[in-house]
Structure 1
């Protein structure tokens, strides 16, 4: 079987404590030693071999720990307060430091079974009755559970807390621990030969548990049974299967126990992560809707870094992005009614729409002017409110220059449409938009204007537009 030794640096004790772990899995059993003994005693006395079947079969994992009785219970001539305080230190070590390490090494949050013989039975009983929330069962063989055996008539509050037969008789029926006791597996056993004084304490324990209505098992072996490892090994091998079966049943009765909730936490967190991913996916929907904007942003750096490829990008993306960008234009009604005829009459003009992706305000002016020769005239009414706001800000001189230079053919049809282009001014400052489309393109990307000029000759005459761009540059 696997055997591992650990050195625990205890803050409660102020010194190291040895812990020997036998086995690789199974229900955790914390074993306390007999008076003044250390963690290797169970192995030295053959108890580990007696339990090998349970350990190798992964029914239990045995955690054998040092005790420090020589500093407390066995120090008969020492100061009683210091002795009681040292026992309390050991109890704090068990509950605050040992049990968390047991959970870690056992890879579970199962409450362990406390086990011990003689003085180890006393430690096991103290651990369970004082902290039933940490321990699921108790197997106490041949223990003396009253402190008078070691301290005589002396008592203080600290010793009282470590004297099971002192505080159990004073425990009321409505104490919260009583309900926990009733859901624990409690076993006490001793012989009736030289163990007669131990049998007396066990009978007192039996009476108190009956008074509290706590199910338990107090067993008394014959007069030939001595206070010895020979009998303890037999008793342990006999009782352990019953206790493990009882523990399994009791654990099922208490599904809301703290350790169960903790054990379920790792299972709940993975369930919450998919939920978090789904929640993240929901905002992704609006992001998908805003892809045209992302495409526009992506197109801008493309024009700056790759001026030659700008024309190819415009040709590839003009068809699909043009359809997506139209509904997002400022003049949505104009886009809806004009789009069907504009697609038939001016198919080459969507090429100017990629320019809209490069510079949002300008493409809106161009498609509005070119794509609405037939039906754009009835819709100045929708654009006029924008003219009122822009009229004060727009530059009249720039408007006349634009009309003279860029509106040779479109001027007659597109003169009412500067108003349709001006709604785009709401999104961007009016002054750059009122000027020729080539000017803002020069500010953002000088190279972007050149591919645009290369495209327009394919659709219409390039002489006048090239002239306008040159004169615009000179004036600036």
Structure 2
């Protein structure tokens, strides 16, 4: 299986960033790490191995980027507004630096944004804001509320970086149509503590007539063995 390590200085984050790219052809998949996770996490915890046959067979090209969670959502040393601002810079890094690399290596098909746990949060937080970029969102055990990271602070940037806050206020027809064209998967274990958050986001999506799949995995919890099974199902041949 083709495996490439990339590192460059990001002009948007003002520091070096690292990522891994797997595959040689196929649909593009941007796979985000869990909370404070590194670019090698998906490989280390078996997500890449779970779909290695599909990557080797030319079905997918997968890119695993670094996070900046310690500088954004988890950085209690700075004001909550600055935490969100740092996240926004990371979002721009993904859109304008990582996605072009991924698409240059892919050979067509939908662009999937995916992640487990906090990576699932990022998937919907970033993906729903950019339906013109991503055609498919896959969250595995995600949790989507942001209040616990921001010490009760609210401002417009906080609002627009929390899908559970801004989604109910969407009334623009063009924006709704773009969201309704996306393929959305919310997969969560039956016993996962994030299940209520998935059910909440699902209800908000249905209120806007945004079709999606809410998949409650029987007996599943919030852990890597479940996510390895999920990624095999939702990134099929």
Greater relative contact order (CA < 8 Å, ≥ 6 in sequence): 2
- Which residue is equivalent to 2:178? 180
- Which residue is equivalent to 1:190? 188
**Contact 1:12/1:90, CA 8 A, preserved across alignment:** yes
1: CA distance, partners of 2:23 / 2:115: 18
Deviations 1:65-120 (A, max 9, x none): 10010001111343212111101111111112221222223255x55100100111
Q: Tell me the number of residue pairs that the alignment of Structure 1 and Structure 2 aligns.
A: 237
- Which residue is equivalent to 1:143? 142
- Which residue is equivalent to 2:100? 100
- Which residue is equivalent to 1:154? 153
1: CA distance, partners of 2:46 / 2:182: 28
What is the alpha-carbon root mean square deviation over aligned residues? 1.5
2: CA distance, partners of 1:79 / 1:12: 20
Q: CA deviation at 1:141?
A: 0.8
**Contact 1:20/1:63, CA 8 A, preserved across alignment:** yes
Give ranges in structure 1 of 5+ residues lacking alignment. Answer: 245-476
Which structure shows the higher strand fraction?
2
The SS at the match of 1:168 is helix
Q: CA deviation at 1:240?
A: 2.0
The SS at the match of 1:190 is strand
Q: CA deviation at 1:175?
A: 3.3
- Which residue is equivalent to 1:423? none
Q: CA deviation at 1:45?
A: 0.6
Q: Does 1:58 align with 2:53?
A: no
Q: Does 1:86 align with 2:86?
A: yes
From the CA coordinates, give the structure whose radius of gyration is larger: 1
**Contact 2:29/2:61, CA 8 A, preserved across alignment:** yes
2: CA distance, partners of 1:141 / 1:56: 23
Deviations 1:280-308 (A, max 9, x none): xxxxxxxxxxxxxxxxxxxxxxxxxxxxx
**Contact 2:20/2:63, CA 8 A, preserved across alignment:** yes
- Which residue is equivalent to 2:229? 234
2: CA distance, partners of 1:237 / 1:149: 31
The SS at the match of 1:213 is coil
The SS at the match of 2:73 is coil
The SS at the match of 1:169 is helix
After superposition, where does 1:115-134 map in structure 2 within 5 Å? 115-134=114-133
2: CA distance, partners of 1:81 / 1:150: 11
Give ranges in structure 2 of 5+ residues lacking alignment. Answer: none
Q: Does 1:201 align with 2:200?
A: no
2: CA distance, partners of 1:84 / 1:215: 28
Superposed structure 1 runs of 4+ greater than 3 Å apart: none
**Contact 2:9/2:16, CA 8 A, preserved across alignment:** yes
TM-score norm. by structure 2 comes to 0.95
**Contact 1:7/1:17, CA 8 A, preserved across alignment:** yes
- Which residue is equivalent to 2:216? 220
2: CA distance, partners of 1:106 / 1:238: 21
**Contact 2:61/2:105, CA 8 A, preserved across alignment:** no
**Contact 1:189/1:220, CA 8 A, preserved across alignment:** yes
* Cα distance change on mapping 1:128 and 1:189 into 2, 3 Å: same
**Contact 2:60/2:106, CA 8 A, preserved across alignment:** no
Q: CA deviation at 1:132?
A: 0.5
* Cα distance change on mapping 1:117 and 1:71 into 2, 3 Å: same
Q: CA deviation at 1:56?
A: 1.2
TM-score norm. by structure 1 comes to 0.48
**Contact 2:167/2:204, CA 8 A, preserved across alignment:** yes
